[in-house]
Amino acid sequence: MSSLNRTDRPYDLVLFGATGFVGSLTAEYLAAHAPKDLRWAVAGRDGRKLERLCQRLPGGADVGVLRADVAEPASLHALAGHARVVATTVGPYVLYGEQLVAACADAGTDYLDLTGEPEFINLMYVRHDTRARETGARLVHACGFDSVPHDLGVYFTVRQLPEGVPLTVDGYVNVDAAFSGGTLASALNQFARGRQLLAAARDRDRHEPRLRGRRVAAPTGAPRFAREVGAWALPLPTVDPQIVARSAKALDRYGPDFRYRHYAAVRHLPGALGGVAAVGAVLAAAQLPPARRWLSDRLRPGDGPSAERRARSRFTVRFVGEGGGRRVFTEVAGGDPGYDETAKMFAEAALCLAFDDLPATAGQVTTAQAMGDALTGRLRAAGITFRVAAAHPSSSPV
Ligand SMILES: NC(=O)c1ccc[n+]([C@@H]2O[C@H](COP(=O)([O-])OP(=O)(O)OC[C@H]3O[C@@H](n4cnc5c(N)ncnc54)[C@H](OP(=O)(O)O)[C@@H]3O)[C@@H](O)[C@H]2O)c1
């Protein structure tokens, strides 16, 4: 059963965690851009904060307010039962997220989040995918900068290449931005859980049906100077390549043999080495509780980059796709990746699930699988660039 049939519910969309940094930006985006007849509510654990949020939203008097706390499972079941789509920013998801996924899977309610935590995604697949398929709920993780530009960017690139042949795509991410307390807390928590991360991946592997008749891989590439983009390419071990690989497994259009590699693109070598050293230092610090606490105290929950800093932030992801004798260069680009554009991607994905004519899917699905064309169209209309680009001058012919 699709959420399109759930018109008996009081709300089309409920935004849980609306009082947080990215939650407030998402609420502001919805208030400014959602269709006027959208029936929506903000939800969270602090009723007064929610009321204050509504007071400053244009049209906030018409926005519902629902109190819910992750420590009170009944309140999450009530949320899931009140909406066709629930969007949640309450993270770290591996600590706070599961009960809401379970409630949505049970109620046949479409669910989306902003997690970049592979452990959480794998655990939710093992524990809730089957139930969601039974009820028709679509569970869509990673609907922010993790992993929408990469997942939809590869989807867009693949569609520029011939059908039915082996394809390779490399993605090169370039970001100039700052991050929030919530992002830092989620990253530190995931960095400290290496053993659990591997165990969840193995568990998923045991449960997930094997892909038959096609091959999909997302290997870690080697650091190198990439002439195709004229920059140093460093393998980027985020959740994104895993999401891209899941889309490739779900969609035959990615061809009989598909490979994706994901890199950070850095123009100057000292910058590249500095980046590697900084990530290594944070990874090491995350293993030691006192160092982890010290780091997380630098940026508290609710804090994040100022509007001025966000206005200066940009992202570009360049893709190089090859197959069937063709090479194509594409680009996805926008403004502040972690917050302004994440709020846009998240809100548009929620509206897309609620209103657009989409392929029939259920269970744990990716953005490309569940909403590929419709969400790409929405994001383009909202100012995010998806385009075929010219070859870089230093790239060699196919
Ligand atoms: N994928 C991406 O690209 C991307 C980008 C940005 C953020 N994120 C992720 O999004 C999440 C939120 O980030 P953020 O910076 O917005 O964090 P934040 O400002 O700390 O907001 C967290 C939200 O969770 C709520 N919350 C915490 N504990 C709760 C509980 N027990 N019950 C109900 N609500 C609870 C908070 O409510 P109160 O206001 O009452 O404290 C707040 O609304 C993080 O996991 C972050 O990693 C992902």
Residues 234 and 270 in one domain: yes
Residues 263 and 178 in one domain: yes
**pLDDT reading at 297 higher than 60:** yes
Among 65-79, 122-136, 290-304, the least confident range = 290-304
Alpha-carbon span 357 to 374, nearest angstrom: 8
Alpha-carbon span 92 to 189, nearest angstrom: 7
**pLDDT reading at 21 higher than 50:** yes
Closest residue CA from atom 42 of ligand 1: 20
315 contacts 149 by C-beta, under 8 angstroms:
yes
Residues 119 and 12 in one domain: yes
Residues 81 and 105 in one domain: yes
Pocket test for ligand 1, best of 88, 114, 240 (most atoms within 8 A of CB): 114
User: How many domains, in total, are found in the chain?
Assistant: 2
53 contacts 43 by C-beta, under 8 angstroms:
no
88 contacts 113 by C-beta, under 8 angstroms:
yes
Alpha-carbon span 300 to 288, nearest angstrom: 19
Helix (H, G, I), strand (E, B) or coil at 57: coil
Residues 62 and 159 in one domain: no
Question: Ligand 1 within 6 A of 97 CB?
Answer: no
The pLDDT, as a whole number, for residue 7 is 74
- Residues 6 or more apart whose CB falls under 8 angstroms from that of 378 comprise 348, 351, 352, 356
Question: Ligand 1 within 6 A of 367 CB?
Answer: no
Per DSSP, the residues of 18-30 read TTSHHHHHHHHHH
- Confirm whether 394 is domain-assigned: no
- Confirm whether 313 is domain-assigned: yes
CA atoms within 13 A on the CB side of 309: 12
Alpha-carbon span 194 to 283, nearest angstrom: 10
Helix (H, G, I), strand (E, B) or coil at 298: coil
The pLDDT, as a whole number, for residue 397 is 67
The chain-wide mean pLDDT, for the chain, equals 93
Helix (H, G, I), strand (E, B) or coil at 165: coil
Question: Ligand 1 within 6 A of 51 CB?
Answer: no
Alpha-carbon span 116 to 143, nearest angstrom: 9
Question: Ligand 1 within 6 A of 72 CB?
Answer: no
| Residue 3's pLDDT band (cuts 50, 70, 90) | very low
Closest residue CA from atom 46 of ligand 1: 183
**pLDDT reading at 212 higher than 70:** yes
Question: Ligand 1 within 6 A of 171 CB?
Answer: no
- Confirm whether 397 is domain-assigned: no
Residues 207 and 298 in one domain: yes
Q: Give me ligand 1 centre to Cα 129, in Å.
A: 24
Structure tokens at 384: 């995010």
The pLDDT, as a whole number, for residue 1 is 42
Alpha-carbon span 285 to 290, nearest angstrom: 8
- Confirm whether 104 is domain-assigned: yes
Residues 117 and 160 in one domain: no
**pLDDT reading at 4 higher than 70:** no
- Confirm whether 398 is domain-assigned: no
Residues 27 and 47 in one domain: yes
Alpha-carbon span 68 to 66, nearest angstrom: 6
What average pLDDT does the segment 351-371 reach? 98
CA distances from 206 to 85, 219, 313 (A): 30, 20, 41
Residues 174 and 302 in one domain: yes
* pTM summary value: 0.95
**pLDDT reading at 252 higher than 80:** yes
Question: Ligand 1 within 6 A of 44 CB?
Answer: yes
For 364, phi then psi, to 5°, come to -75, 120
Question: Ligand 1 within 6 A of 73 CB?
Answer: no
Question: Ligand 1 within 6 A of 88 CB?
Answer: no
What average pLDDT does the segment 151-160 reach? 98
Q: Give me ligand 1 centre to Cα 50, in Å.
A: 14
**pLDDT reading at 182 higher than 50:** yes
- Which amino acid belongs to residue 366? T
Residues 273 and 326 in one domain: yes
Q: Which residue segment(s) compose the domain that 53 sits in?
A: 3-144+341-379
Helix (H, G, I), strand (E, B) or coil at 301: coil
Question: Ligand 1 within 6 A of 305 CB?
Answer: no
Residues 186 and 210 in one domain: yes
What average pLDDT does the segment 148-170 reach? 98
Closest residue CA from atom 14 of ligand 1: 182
- Confirm whether 345 is domain-assigned: yes
- Confirm whether 356 is domain-assigned: yes
CA distances from 95 to 117, 193, 222 (A): 11, 11, 33
Pocket test for ligand 1, best of 15, 22, 339 (most atoms within 8 A of CB): 22
**pLDDT reading at 372 higher than 90:** yes
CATH number at residue 138: 3.40.50.720
- Confirm whether 396 is domain-assigned: no
Alpha-carbon span 261 to 263, nearest angstrom: 7
Cβ neighbours of 47 (radius 10 Å): 11
80 contacts 106 by C-beta, under 8 angstroms:
yes
The pLDDT, as a whole number, for residue 5 is 55
Question: Ligand 1 within 6 A of 146 CB?
Answer: yes
Question: Ligand 1 within 6 A of 221 CB?
Answer: no
Residues 77 and 107 in one domain: yes
**pLDDT reading at 299 higher than 80:** no
More confident position, 171 or 193 = 171
The pLDDT, as a whole number, for residue 314 is 93
